[in-house]
Amino acid sequence: MLSGFKQFVLRGNVIDLAVAVVIGGAFGAVVTALVKDLLTPLIAAAGGQPDFSAIAFTVNGSKFLIGDFVNSIVSFLMIAAAVYFTVVAPMNAIVARRRRGEPPADPTTKKCPECLSEVPIAARRCAFCTSSLGVPA
């Protein structure tokens, strides 16, 4: 029984997942700190206090905290923007720069002349309209 557990724990994908969770948690803390400590004060300096938590209304004794919801949306959008502009956009630029000299990959699909759907290059019939595509080249 313990050997099965040991085999499960030492499989590569379990270790990779554990590392990803730890790194993801640490990265999440960095992004949250970036938003809380840098972006939110920047917005406060430009447009006043960015805290909507005081906005609420009550219906039949139930309190609806609209401001907390708005705070969560603003926080999410700021975190998403921080991740995009500090990680995604630079990585896309690096990948594009590395691929600049490579020839484009051979196509894997072609268009059906009847319905203009994308079909595999080796297909003899369209999967969408069943028209004959001829002998694959």
What's the pLDDT score for residue 50? 66
Say whether both 19 and 81 belong to one domain.
yes
Q: Which residues of the chain have pLDDT under 50?
A: 137
Statement to judge: residues 15 and 57 lie in one domain: yes
pLDDT of res. 25: 92
List the structure tokens of 42: 């920047």
Q: Give the predicted TM-score (pTM) of the model.
A: 0.55
**Could you give the CA distance from residue 110 to residue 37 in angstroms, rounded to a whole number?**
51
> Residue 94's pLDDT is what?
93
User: Are 92 and 129 part of one and the same domain?
Assistant: no
First to last CA, the chain: 55
Instruction: Report the pLDDT value the prediction gives residue 92, as an integer from 0 to 100.
Output: 93
The count of structural domains within the chain is 2
Domain of 125, in residue numbers: 107-137
Per the CB < 8 A criterion, the answer to whether 123 and 136 are in contact is yes
Residue 25 CB: number of other CB atoms within 10 A? 10
57 with 87, same domain: the answer is yes
61 vs 84: CA distance, rounded Å: 41
- Say whether both 92 and 112 belong to one domain: no
| pLDDT score for 135 | 64
- CA-closest candidate to residue 54, choices 69, 43, 65: 65
Residue 111, strand partner residues: 118
Is there a single domain that holds both residue 68 and residue 6?
Answer: yes
The token pair at 111 is: 């268009």
Closest C-alpha among 30, 26, 32 to residue 79: 32
Specify whether 124 is located in the same domain as 84.
no
**pLDDT for the residue numbered 3:** 83
Residues 134 and 114: their CA atoms lie apart, in Å, by 12
